[in-house]
Amino acid sequence: MELIAYRSYKELDYAINFWRTKSGLGSRFYLAKERLLIEVKGASRVDYLDVKGLVAFQGGYKPKKVIVVTNERAARIEKGIHFVPWQEFLGHFGVEKS
């Protein structure tokens, strides 16, 4: 919902596509025009092995940037994937935190 609100607020013209594997490996949002792939994980620690479905999706769509929004305390990059705390992610999108 935050991505839709941000797109509307900034009057951006791009589709937000939602994708989930049949086996339920996870849900992703792909902003096609921006070639940005986003996955949301509720865990306080997400490892590269926890995003196997994301890696498979990444191989097929070749996004410019891949972000996993997490409950972790600090941002990090592992094998080209940006693991970002949700507070930092929302701050980047201009959403005020309460």
The whole-number pLDDT of residue 94 equals 53
Residue 23 lies in a domain: yes
**98 part of a folded domain:** no
Q: What is the pTM of this model?
A: 0.73
> Dihedral sign, CA of 5, 11, 12, 16?
positive
CATH of the domain at 23: 3.40.1350
What pLDDT tens digit does each residue of the chain (98 aa) get? 767 776 777 777 777 777 666 666 555 776 766 778 888 888 889 988 888 878 877 777 788 888 898 899 999 999 889 999 988 887 775 554 44
Contact 3, 18 (CB under 8 A): no
Structural domain of 18? 2-92
